[in-house]
Amino acid sequence: MLVLGIESSCDETGLALYDTEAGLLAHALHSQVAMHAEYGGVVPELASRDHIRRALPLLKRVLAEAGMALKDIDAIAYTQGPGLAGALLVGASIASGLGLALGKPTVGIHHLEGHLLSPLLAEPRPELGSGITPMNGHESPLKLRFPFIALLVSGGHTQLMRVDGVGRYEMLGETVDDAAGEAFDKTAQLLGLGYPGGPALSRLAEQGDAYRFKLPRPMLNSHNLDFSFAGLKTAALTLARKEGPTAAADIAAGFQEAAVDVLAAKCLAALKQTGLKRLVVAGGVGANKNLRARLDAEAEQKRFQVFYPPLALCTDNGAMIAFAGAMRLTEAQGHDGSFTVRPRWDLSSLTAPS
Ligand code: KG4
Ligand code: ZN
């Protein structure tokens, strides 16, 4: 079965073709980061308009790359939510229009389900790397199986989920204020690193001393699996004002160290609480090198397995939507051509495909 995936929930237009036999055939992405940079954040109306401009050329590109035609598509998966309403509507209406024109089913996917299932995506394309990344010193890929703990760390979400199967998600903890990626972005901005600053902050931190300033680890000892990042961001702001630009690298390193400490500690607590031995890290902040290094070291020491999507598929993309769609397509959803988007949508409200 050949599934077209369309992601348009925020500022990335992603299209992909996933074949249930052959794996991921092609994926293409347009990032709007440069367009939104001058505003210091995503401008929803500009995002929607750009998705309209980019989606069809990207569709042509993935079809050409996979050597397929529109008529070869068996089903279409699109991001139904959560995200920006207008941006979601672009992907949903393209999916629905194509579904009606081709007489093929469409399926609306929860964006975070896309992220958390993405390490299961087997990759036949070597330039994208192995789909299931071998970690903690093992040379051959470890096999990811349900159940597992998933840490979802993106610009909009920070959640720990217990995952027992497709659509079987139990929320164990989440942020009570800022998402981890949001905290990285806001701290980067106050250090003058532009938007979105997560990767830039991480690069600057490489030159800094993580122990010069002791930044807070909010909720580290809260005895639950919730997170908080607002206080950490404010502490970085206060330091930046006091110490000036020459301290930027040390503040960046101190901030990153504190964020990684909290994220890693909560993952370990979730594994301990559930007795599970597999951890999946998904979402944009999952690309952070220090977070990966810390979790790999913990996994080695505490004997659990940790899985990441390939780096290219850590941030928003169409491949994860096509893959989640393929896994859900036993369900008949949206056959009448109608569709809705869900800008706010609780992941643990999903049900397993019947
Ligand atoms: O999953 P994603 O692409 O989009 C959302 O659904 O939010 O995540 C984007 C977030 C941004 O906040 C970005 O700054 C952060 O992931 N990010 C990073 C890194 N790469 C991306 N944060 C820290 N270190 C990185 N290397
Ligand atoms: Zn995302």
Ligand 1 and 316: CB distance under 6 A = yes
Which ligand 1 atom minimizes the distance to the CA of 179? 12
* 132/213 same-domain check: no
Rounded CA separation 292/106 (Å)? 35
* 241/109 same-domain check: no
* 12/60 same-domain check: yes
* 184/301 same-domain check: yes
Residue 354 within any structural domain of the chain: no
Point out the ligand nearest to the CA of residue 187.
1
Instruction: Report the domain count for the chain.
Output: 2
pTM exceeds 0.85: yes
Q: How many helices (H) and strands (E) does the chain have?
A: 10, 10
Distance 251 CA to ligand 1 centre (A): 19
- The predicted pLDDT at position 199 comes to 95
* 259/184 same-domain check: yes
- The predicted pLDDT at position 339 comes to 73
> Residue 102 sits in a domain of what CATH number?
3.30.420.40
Ligand 1 and 202: CB distance under 6 A = yes
Which portions of the chain are predicted below pLDDT 70? 122-142, 330-338
* 196/327 same-domain check: no
Ligand 1 and 284: CB distance under 6 A = yes
Q: Ligand 1: which residue has its CA nearest to atom 3?
A: 315
97 CB-contact burial (10 Å; exposed 0-12 / middle 13-18 / buried 19+)? middle
Q: What are the angstrom distances between the C-alpha of 139 and each of 37, 126, 210, 277, 307?
A: 40, 16, 31, 19, 13
76: Cβ contacts below 8 Å, ≥ 6 apart? 3, 4, 5, 6, 95, 98, 99, 102, 104, 105, 106, 107, 325
Which ligand 1 atom minimizes the distance to the CA of 83? 6
* 224/343 same-domain check: no
* 127/176 same-domain check: no
Which ligand 1 atom minimizes the distance to the CA of 182? 12
* 111/182 same-domain check: no
Rounded CA separation 198/150 (Å)? 20
Residue 142 within any structural domain of the chain: no
- The predicted pLDDT at position 338 comes to 67
| Domain residue limits at 282 | 148-309
Q: What are the angstrom distances between the C-alpha of 247 and each of 108, 195, 201, 242, 291?
A: 46, 20, 13, 9, 22
Residue 304 within any structural domain of the chain: yes
- The predicted pLDDT at position 337 comes to 61
- The predicted pLDDT at position 131 comes to 41
Ligand 1 and 83: CB distance under 6 A = no
- The predicted pLDDT at position 2 comes to 96
Which ligand 1 atom minimizes the distance to the CA of 202? 24
